[in-house]
Copies of this chain bind each other. A is one copy, B any other.
Amino acid sequence: MTLRLAVLGAGAVGGSVLDLAGEYGHEVVAFADSSSSVSDPTGLDPQTVHDRKEREGVVGDDDPEALFDTDYDVLVEATPTTLGDAEPGFSHVERALADDRHVVLANKGPVAERYADLRALEAESEGRVQFEATVGGAIPVLSTISDLGADHVTAARGVLNGTANFILSRMAAEGLDYEHVLAEAQDLGVAEADPSFDVDGIDAALKFVILANVLSDGEAEYRLNDAEVEGIRNVPGTALDLAAEDGRTVRLIGEATSDGVRVAPRLVPQGAALAVTGTQNIVQLETEHAGQLNVSGRGAGGPETATAVLSDVSRLE
């Protein structure tokens, strides 16, 4: 069944959803960036939209809010993640659910910071909320937990920030210090000009908070403030040298259980599943009856995350 998507957010993820929706049998009927929107009930042509955005800096002539007045089935919320009240993302979700539309989130804010509010709104709506893309891009983390049943998964552990992992991998492989590798990562576009969201562990913590919310299955609610978070700024190159002498290395490891969330640099054996390199991500699920299941891959990127969004859309058919 073809579902009509309204995509809010014109960054890498929103742009890739626009490009790839057709391949998944869906169509984008409305698309908005932070200052404008465009719609077409017969489906937007991706190239036309991208061209206008590049040429004029806007995607269309309408206000962004006009997107909600179009005839769509699924809101794809791909605006930047915000903390605290998770606005304006949360209000976007609220409006779509109030109109009995489905919501697929790439924005982590509403799931990490206002999970109970989100589930309460969903319960009042004909629409459903999906958010696989918020945890590790296309890596099948939430779908696997859903298949196993959240009550049969006792913990989720792993590496869910590619930037921090790239920096730690390079420090270990090249014997370089944090500042040097960070500058290199910024040159390569792997780290942002302000890298604090990644290197201070906030981004990873948000994802593990989402996992804790899913694993606790409504029995408890977690927010970023509930997580114990330590980043990688203070990991000295000498710590990696010492670890290497012992056959180990350091990774920014997160853990979510129904008891809460911790993210911190940890020693892991070299060659262990958790010692993924570069921008790879991995999640290990501890299950009651099926041992440990590992899922890994690229945890970010436009087409990768759009793939997760579109898989979520197909689950709504």
Note all chain B residues with C-beta closer than 8 A to A306.
289
Residue in B closest to A312 when the chains form the complex, CB atoms: B147
User: A296 — nearest CB in chain B belongs to which residue?
Assistant: B294
What residues on B are CB-neighbors of A287 within 8 Å?
138, 307
| Residues on B with beta carbons closer than 8 Å to the beta carbon of A292 | 297-298
CB distance from A85 to the nearest CB of B (A): 31
Residue from the list B23, B24, B289, B308 in contact with A20, Cβ < 8 A: B289
Is A235 close to B, CB under 8 A?
no
Which residue on chain B has the smallest CB distance to residue A315?
B147
How many residues of A sit at the interface, in one of the four size bands?
A: 35 or more
A152 interface residue (CB < 8 Å to B): yes
Q: What chain B residues lie within 8 Å of A125 (beta carbons)? A: none
Please report the C-alpha to C-alpha distance between residue A273 and residue B301 in the assembled complex, in whole angstroms.
21
Closest partner residue, chain B, to A270 (CB atom): B271
Binding site for B on A (CB under 8 A): 16, 20, 23-24, 137-140, 143-144, 147-149, 152, 270-271, 273, 287, 289-298, 301, 303-304, 306-308, 311, 314-315
From the candidates B23, B297, B315, name the one contacting A291 in the complex (CB within 8 A): B297
Q: List 30 A-B contacts (CB under 8 A).
A: A20-B289, A23-B152, A23-B289, A137-B290, A138-B291, A138-B293, A140-B140, A140-B143, A140-B147, A140-B293, A143-B144, A144-B144, A147-B311, A148-B307, A148-B311, A152-B307, A273-B296, A289-B304, A289-B306, A289-B307, A291-B298, A291-B301, A291-B304, A292-B298, A293-B295, A293-B296, A293-B297, A294-B294, A294-B297, A295-B295
